[in-house]
């Protein structure tokens, strides 16, 4: 969907993680091939079990993954995630207060593209 998220804005995403969830993703950028943040909680990963994966994409090519081994998100729960663009960094605030940070590798100052897909039932989102 097309939006206009600027530095300092917060994107609040609410929804339910499905009971049999494998993964979902929240992508922020200027288009499907140019993502400043790819936030991808995975609930069964061959190597590490449940992990949070962040990445970026430029001209359709993925960068290096950043993996957080501690994924506090649980299948079958309602969650609120707050995503923020704070200049040189993206921050994702998780329901337990944990915060995941990911560098703004492309120095994006406006996010015009948001995509939320996967094993997640979106109930609301708000930019504030």
CA distance 14 to 103: 24
- 29-68 per-position pLDDT tens digit: 999 999 999 999 999 866 667 899 999 999 999 999 999 8
CA distance 2 to 60: 19
The DSSP annotation for 89-123 comes to: EEEEE-TTS-EEEEE-TT--SEEEEEEEEESEEEE
- 72-116 per-position pLDDT tens digit: 999 999 999 999 999 899 999 999 899 999 999 999 999 999 999
Q: Give me the mean pLDDT over the 110-125 stretch.
A: 96
Considering the entire predicted model, what is its pTM?
Answer: 0.94
Six-digit token string for 103 = 């560098």
Assigned CATH class of 2-127: mainly beta
Q: Where are the domains of the chain?
A: 2-127
């Amino acid at each position: 969907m097309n939006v206009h998220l600027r530095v300092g804005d917060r994107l609040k995403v609410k929804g339910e993680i499905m009971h049999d969830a494998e993964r979902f993703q929240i992508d922020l950028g200027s288009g499907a091939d140019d993502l400043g943040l790819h936030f991808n909680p995975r609930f069964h990963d061959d190597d590490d079990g449940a992990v949070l994966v962040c990445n970026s994409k430029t001209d359709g090519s993925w960068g290096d993954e950043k993996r957080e081994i501690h994924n506090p998100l649980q299948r079958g729960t309602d969650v609120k995630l707050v995503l923020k663009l704070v200049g040189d960094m993206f921050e994702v605030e998780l329901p337990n207060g944990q915060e995941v940070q990911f560098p703004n590798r492309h120095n994006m100052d406006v996010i015009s593209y948001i995509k939320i897909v996967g094993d997640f039932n979106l109930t609301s989102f708000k930019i504030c």
